[in-house]
Chains A and B, each alone.
Chain A
Amino acid sequence: MARLHLQLQPYVPSEADPFDRVKASHLLSRAGFGGTDAEIDRVLSLGPTKAVDELLDFPDTSAKDQDPKDQPDLSAIEDLPKSMKALRQMFRGMSEEERKLAFQRAIVANVRALTECGRWWMHRMATGDYPLQEKLTLFWHGHFATSAKDERSAFLMFKQNELLRQYAAGDFFQFVKSISRDPAMLDYLNNTQNHKRKPNENYARELMELFTLGIGNYSETDIKEAARAFTGWTHDGEDFSFDNDDHDTGTKRFFGKQGTFDGDDVITLICKHPACQEFIAGKLYRFFVSDQLDSAVQNNLGQVFWDAKYKLRPLLRTMLTSRIFYAPATIGAQIKSPVQLVIGTVRKLNLTMPQTGVLAGALNQMGQVPFFPPNVKGWPGGRAWINTSTLFVRQNTAVFLAGGSAPGTGRRFMDRLISAGLDTRFQPKGGASSDKLVDEWVARLMGRPIDSDKRRVLIDSLAGQPSRPENVKNMIQLIVAMPEYQLC
């Protein structure tokens, strides 16, 4: 068992450095999408170790296995054929005209189903029992990236989403073998076009470059040979299928070894490569802890991952209970992803998820739409989320959620909603003391103290009337428009 680097050793609460509300809030922001007051209370009572145990305590199963009733409504695509073969059969006997119409209808139906999947997933992030599982699913979606822009089938995109959920904190080695058999992934990275007589290297390349090892840890020959090993790995529209006749059974040379390797053999060799443990551990660290990663810490984390035989939970536990996780340089130093910004605000304001329509445009402008990573590299994150354009959208969206006007619409849109009795916007309660009210909302929304001058500005905004809901709403909108609110 490796000795833990000083920074990775567990944070132990002390009088000088207690486990306070700031730390509890921080844990829920990183290991989820942000905590409500009650959830923060619970974490405080559990303490840093038990809280992480509880956060990690979820079944490594799909949403369907957890609750068959909790699934997106895919009725739009129910009657549609799932595989290309079934589609071609349906097309047989149709005129060109009919075929085109049928194709159009299939596209429209899938778009509708995908929108519903996005809505369902965001809802699960906001209200589900296992926020860390959903946060991890989002991480893996950006890691094993597949975009619905190319993989038009909502059925397959959702199937992949359930796979990511199942393996989110599970066995990484099994995860790689499973994702390499996932139909949406096989489509997206063209492995369905990887044939014995005409290999396609795309999957082999991205598997090594982006999914497991990183550039510089394999040669072009390794890619060519690995591609041969994955020939015949395809699907029938619903499930993985192995086309024996299309599989190259010859000897391959990979990482200096020789054998009649198939895909699983290649994956095994990849996972045994020392670069793999550090690559994955590093990526998880950057997502959950900090963009700043010391190579000694990364090396140590890789060792932890290896010692745990590539089980993800021990690695996650080490990171989420470590001293560096609770260091002052870490808390409040991460720029929220657009999804984090939206879901966190919804949770902390105790809102019902608003209409996806209004949010879809905003998420698109902010640069993150679930099921649509921009490319196979996923979402780079960090400062890449922020430029002058996206910053306005982020602020305006947060203000909208806190009861302001809808982004991109004028006052008239909201006035119409109000007069039609459809105004279900955020309506906070007033309070007796301006100071106390500001402190309460800053604690709730930021989870960290703010500059005293800024605190004063917020207090002044209540204009001595903290009982007026309109004043309180205005004050809260100011909080979520602050640059500090972009961080967690």
Chain B
Amino acid sequence: MPLPITTRREFLHKGLALVAAGASVPAFLQQTVFAIDNPLDQALTQKPGGKDDRILVVVQLAGGNDGLSTVIPFGDDLYYRNRPALGMPARDLLKIDNYLGVPKEFVRLKSLFDDRRMSIIQGVGYPNPNRSHFRSMDIWHSAIPDRENVANGWLGRYFDCTCTGIDPHVGVSIGETLPLAMKGDRVTPLSFEKSENYRYNGADRARYEKLSTGTNVVPDIEVEAPATQPIKPPVMLGRSRNPRARTPVEPINPQTQLDFLTRTATDARVSSDTIANLIGKYQPAGEYPGGEFGEGLRTIAAMIAGGLSTRVYYVSLGGFDTHAGQANRHAQLMDQFARGIQAFTTDLKKQENSDRVLVMAFSEFGRRVTQNASGGTDHGAAGPMFLFGPEMKTSVIGQHPSLANLDQGDLKYAVDFRNVYASILQNWMDTPSRPILGEQFKVFPFLKT
């Protein structure tokens, strides 16, 4: 909602631009107007919130998913020559065509695939691949490969760019800590490991509430104090001019600090009650696998069904670092992944939300082409990404990386992951990607409509 101009200074600063634009800025003006200070004190892009907005669910396959065991080039002789023990026989696979197949565990995803609600992007990576879990994961999260110590992530910057308030519900991450990808400079989305732990678990709840939340405190959940400054593109490089990234707007004294804590406690209570209620009431249509991934997806389905204003959800499936004994381990993970996605998409279908939720699955790197001596594979580089949700243009995007023309024994990337991010930001989240990613990456249309 546009906030009124209240001071003369504001009018002088923004008035002309306001006259030129209108209360709603036509899409073709977005890029230019966004380049200068935003005159409208609002997101030029979609405001987060509301039932009809699109949702992104990010699935992190942690540890380095072996792309060659997920999107299998069974039609290439080199695959079997490099993997005498790990190579999966063609008859055990679900064939996509004469060259590519997927593990049999993906049979659960067959209907999605046939309906073109699933897309595989091949050969995703970035220049100068880093084979350290931490560093490579940070790169995928920050989306700034050539800077270390970036303090925010691409989704966090998305929140900073498009949200006027500091409502933490814009994003929810299921996991012990908030991933860097979701950290903004201004916005800190919710994170919890189990929904049961996202609440006060002391005994005397009634008195706790009297003591911690106060009766005349207004929660921040809607919009906090209106921003009188235009929304600036977020600080990209992880280095702010002020050594304290957050400049306090108000003086710091016991009362203001207590008010801040009380407001946060009130927000937390409201949010915790809301979420517990949504999850408690929810009857899933799908059968989720046990474990953190399955439970995480079920929680997300419940929150989507409940109509929360959340735009981005984040969940992880770990265990992909298969240096040894890969065959069984990877198959189990494929099973978990497929079961989870199947249950989740089944649920969304029942909720009639299939067309507004996009799932994006990625891993911090693929694995080496040649198997190692322990029945496993070591850290590699390029790998596939997966999209599930609305109808896509094509089921397979890009070519499988060459197994002959390698980069130090690893698959070369063809698609920079930031192209995928940019495509999702622009085509799905309906927001310019350049302020978020630092440059304009080529966008490819992956959606049918």
Q: Could you tell me the distance between the alpha carbons of A461 and B211 in the complex, rounded to whole angstroms?
A: 11
**Does B243 sit within 8 A of A, measured CB to CB?**
yes
Interface size bucket, A side? 35 or more
B148 contact set on A, CB distance < 8 A = 202, 375
Within the complex, what minimum Cβ distance (angstroms) separates B63 from chain A? Answer: 15
Nearest neighbor of B251 in chain A, beta-carbon distance: A292
**Does B151 sit within 8 A of A, measured CB to CB?**
yes
Q: In the complex where A329-B254, A483-B212 touch, is A404 in contact with B190 (Cβ < 8 A)?
A: no
Q: Could you tell me the distance between the alpha carbons of A380 and B203 in the complex, rounded to whole angstroms?
A: 33
Within the complex, what minimum Cβ distance (angstroms) separates B415 from chain A? Answer: 28
**Does B41 sit within 8 A of A, measured CB to CB?**
no
List A188-227 residues whose CB lies under 8 Å from chain B.
202, 209-210, 214-216
* Smallest CB-CB A-B distances: 7 pairs: A483-B261, A388-B268, A332-B254, A329-B253, A375-B149, A399-B202, A387-B188
Nearest neighbor of B211 in chain A, beta-carbon distance: A482
A-B contacts, 30 listed (Cβ < 8 Å): A97-B374, A100-B374, A209-B239, A283-B243, A291-B248, A292-B253, A329-B252, A329-B253, A333-B254, A334-B257, A361-B176, A365-B193, A380-B244, A382-B244, A382-B246, A389-B192, A392-B192, A392-B198, A392-B272, A396-B197, A405-B201, A407-B197, A408-B193, A454-B210, A461-B207, A477-B202, A477-B203, A481-B200, A483-B265, A487-B254
Q: In the complex where A364-B176, A477-B204 touch, is A100 in contact with B323 (Cβ < 8 A)?
A: yes
A290 contact set on B, CB distance < 8 A = 252
**Could you tell me if B151 and A377 are in contact, using CB atoms closer than 8 angstroms?**
yes
List A372-411 residues whose CB lies under 8 Å from chain B.
375-377, 380, 382-384, 386-389, 391-392, 395-396, 399, 404-405, 407-408
**Could you tell me if A150 and B134 are in contact, using CB atoms closer than 8 angstroms?**
yes
**Does B120 sit within 8 A of A, measured CB to CB?**
no
Q: Could you tell me the distance between the alpha carbons of A377 and B191 in the complex, rounded to whole angstroms?
A: 23
- Give the number of residues in B that approach A within 8 Å (Cβ atoms): 53
Within the complex, what minimum Cβ distance (angstroms) separates B212 from chain A? Answer: 6
Within the complex, what minimum Cβ distance (angstroms) separates A356 from chain B? Answer: 16
Within the complex, what minimum Cβ distance (angstroms) separates B352 from chain A? Answer: 30
Nearest neighbor of A329 in chain B, beta-carbon distance: B253
**Could you tell me if A96 and B372 are in contact, using CB atoms closer than 8 angstroms?**
yes
A329 contact set on B, CB distance < 8 A = 251-254
**Could you tell me if A380 and B272 are in contact, using CB atoms closer than 8 angstroms?**
no
**Could you tell me if A391 and B264 are in contact, using CB atoms closer than 8 angstroms?**
yes
5 new A-B contacts at CB < 8 Å, known A292-B251, A292-B253: A149-B134, A216-B241, A408-B197, A481-B200, A481-B212
**Could you tell me if A386 and B178 are in contact, using CB atoms closer than 8 angstroms?**
no
**Does B24 sit within 8 A of A, measured CB to CB?**
no
**Could you tell me if A392 and B207 are in contact, using CB atoms closer than 8 angstroms?**
no
A209 contact set on B, CB distance < 8 A = 239
A395 contact set on B, CB distance < 8 A = 200, 202, 212
**Does A457 sit within 8 A of B, measured CB to CB?**
yes
**Does B82 sit within 8 A of A, measured CB to CB?**
no
**Does A357 sit within 8 A of B, measured CB to CB?**
no
**Could you tell me if B260 and A364 are in contact, using CB atoms closer than 8 angstroms?**
no
**Does B406 sit within 8 A of A, measured CB to CB?**
no
B258 contact set on A, CB distance < 8 A = 483-484, 487
**Could you tell me if A388 and B372 are in contact, using CB atoms closer than 8 angstroms?**
no
**Does A328 sit within 8 A of B, measured CB to CB?**
yes
**Does B199 sit within 8 A of A, measured CB to CB?**
yes
A365 contact set on B, CB distance < 8 A = 176-177, 193
Q: Could you tell me the distance between the alpha carbons of A375 and B374 in the complex, rounded to whole angstroms?
A: 34
**Does A331 sit within 8 A of B, measured CB to CB?**
yes
List A403-457 residues whose CB lies under 8 Å from chain B.
404-405, 407-408, 454, 457
Q: Could you tell me the distance between the alpha carbons of A396 and B260 in the complex, rounded to whole angstroms?
A: 19
Which listed residue (A386, A388, A461) contacts B190, Cβ 8 A? A388
**Does A335 sit within 8 A of B, measured CB to CB?**
yes
Within the complex, what minimum Cβ distance (angstroms) separates A363 from chain B? Answer: 11
Which listed residue (A286, A387, A405, A457) contacts B264, Cβ 8 A? A387
Q: Mark B288-312, 1 if CB is under 8 A from A, else 0.
A: 0000000000000000000000000
Within the complex, what minimum Cβ distance (angstroms) separates A374 from chain B? Answer: 8
Q: Mark B265-284, 1 if CB is under 8 A from A, else 0.
A: 10110011000000000000
**Could you tell me if A389 and B257 are in contact, using CB atoms closer than 8 angstroms?**
no
Q: Mark B80-123, 1 if CB is under 8 A from A, else 0.
A: 00000000000000000000000000000000000000000000
Q: Mark A335-372, 1 if CB is under 8 A from B, else 0.
A: 10000000000000000000000000100110100000
Which listed residue (B177, B267, B268) contacts A364, Cβ 8 A? B177
Q: Could you tell me the distance between the alpha carbons of A210 and B151 in the complex, rounded to whole angstroms?
A: 14
**Does B394 sit within 8 A of A, measured CB to CB?**
no
Q: Could you tell me the distance between the alpha carbons of A377 and B211 in the complex, rounded to whole angstroms?
A: 35
Q: Could you tell me the distance between the alpha carbons of A215 and B240 in the complex, rounded to whole angstroms?
A: 9
**Does A478 sit within 8 A of B, measured CB to CB?**
yes
**Could you tell me if B239 and A392 are in contact, using CB atoms closer than 8 angstroms?**
no
B134 contact set on A, CB distance < 8 A = 149-150
A149 contact set on B, CB distance < 8 A = 134
List B104-153 residues whose CB lies under 8 Å from chain A.
134, 148-149, 151
A292 contact set on B, CB distance < 8 A = 248, 251-253
**Does A137 sit within 8 A of B, measured CB to CB?**
no
Q: Could you tell me the distance between the alpha carbons of A412 and B168 in the complex, rounded to whole angstroms?
A: 32
**Does A486 sit within 8 A of B, measured CB to CB?**
yes
**Does A474 sit within 8 A of B, measured CB to CB?**
yes
**Could you tell me if A328 and B254 are in contact, using CB atoms closer than 8 angstroms?**
yes
Within the complex, what minimum Cβ distance (angstroms) separates B159 from chain A? Answer: 13
**Does B194 sit within 8 A of A, measured CB to CB?**
yes
Q: Could you tell me the distance between the alpha carbons of A286 and B247 in the complex, rounded to whole angstroms?
A: 13
**Could you tell me if A388 and B211 are in contact, using CB atoms closer than 8 angstroms?**
no
A387 contact set on B, CB distance < 8 A = 168, 188, 190, 264
A375 contact set on B, CB distance < 8 A = 148-149, 151
Q: In the complex where A149-B134, A399-B201, A486-B261 touch, is A388 in contact with B267 (Cβ < 8 A)?
A: yes
Q: In the complex where A380-B245, A392-B200, A478-B204 touch, is A335 in contact with B211 (Cβ < 8 A)?
A: no
Q: Could you tell me the distance between the alpha carbons of A79 and B262 in the complex, rounded to whole angstroms?
A: 52
A484 contact set on B, CB distance < 8 A = 258, 261
Q: Could you tell me the distance between the alpha carbons of A95 and B373 in the complex, rounded to whole angstroms?
A: 10
Q: Could you tell me the distance between the alpha carbons of A155 and B258 in the complex, rounded to whole angstroms?
A: 41
Within the complex, what minimum Cβ distance (angstroms) separates B249 from chain A? Answer: 11
B177 contact set on A, CB distance < 8 A = 364-365, 367
**Could you tell me if B149 and A377 are in contact, using CB atoms closer than 8 angstroms?**
yes
Q: Could you tell me the distance between the alpha carbons of A151 and B208 in the complex, rounded to whole angstroms?
A: 42
**Could you tell me if A386 and B197 are in contact, using CB atoms closer than 8 angstroms?**
no
Q: Could you tell me the distance between the alpha carbons of A20 and B240 in the complex, rounded to whole angstroms?
A: 41
Within the complex, what minimum Cβ distance (angstroms) separates A391 from chain B? Answer: 5
Q: Could you tell me the distance between the alpha carbons of A375 and B212 in the complex, rounded to whole angstroms?
A: 32
Q: Mark B165-191, 1 if CB is under 8 A from A, else 0.
A: 000100000001110000000001011
**Could you tell me if A487 and B257 are in contact, using CB atoms closer than 8 angstroms?**
yes
A214 contact set on B, CB distance < 8 A = 243
Q: Could you tell me the distance between the alpha carbons of A172 and B371 in the complex, rounded to whole angstroms?
A: 52
Which listed residue (B208, B262, B264) contacts A388, Cβ 8 A? B264
Q: Could you tell me the distance between the alpha carbons of A372 and B22 in the complex, rounded to whole angstroms?
A: 49
Within the complex, what minimum Cβ distance (angstroms) separates B234 from chain A? Answer: 16
Q: Could you tell me the distance between the alpha carbons of A396 and B268 in the complex, rounded to whole angstroms?
A: 13
**Could you tell me if A389 and B323 are in contact, using CB atoms closer than 8 angstroms?**
no
B373 contact set on A, CB distance < 8 A = 95-97
Within the complex, what minimum Cβ distance (angstroms) separates A142 from chain B? Answer: 12
Q: Mark A275-296, 1 if CB is under 8 A from B, else 0.
A: 0000000010010001110000
Q: Could you tell me the distance between the alpha carbons of A404 and B200 in the complex, rounded to whole angstroms?
A: 11
List A136-153 residues whose CB lies under 8 Å from chain B.
149-150
B374 contact set on A, CB distance < 8 A = 97, 100
Nearest neighbor of A450 in chain B, beta-carbon distance: B211
Q: Mark A256-292, 1 if CB is under 8 A from B, else 0.
A: 0000000000000000000000000001001000111
Within the complex, what minimum Cβ distance (angstroms) separates A480 from chain B? Answer: 9
Q: Could you tell me the distance between the alpha carbons of A481 and B201 in the complex, rounded to whole angstroms?
A: 10
Nearest neighbor of A291 in chain B, beta-carbon distance: B252
A286 contact set on B, CB distance < 8 A = 244
**Could you tell me if B192 and A408 are in contact, using CB atoms closer than 8 angstroms?**
no
Within the complex, what minimum Cβ distance (angstroms) separates A434 from chain B? Answer: 14
Q: Could you tell me the distance between the alpha carbons of A365 and B198 in the complex, rounded to whole angstroms?
A: 12
Q: In the complex where A96-B372, A215-B239, A365-B177 touch, is A380 in contact with B246 (Cβ < 8 A)?
A: yes
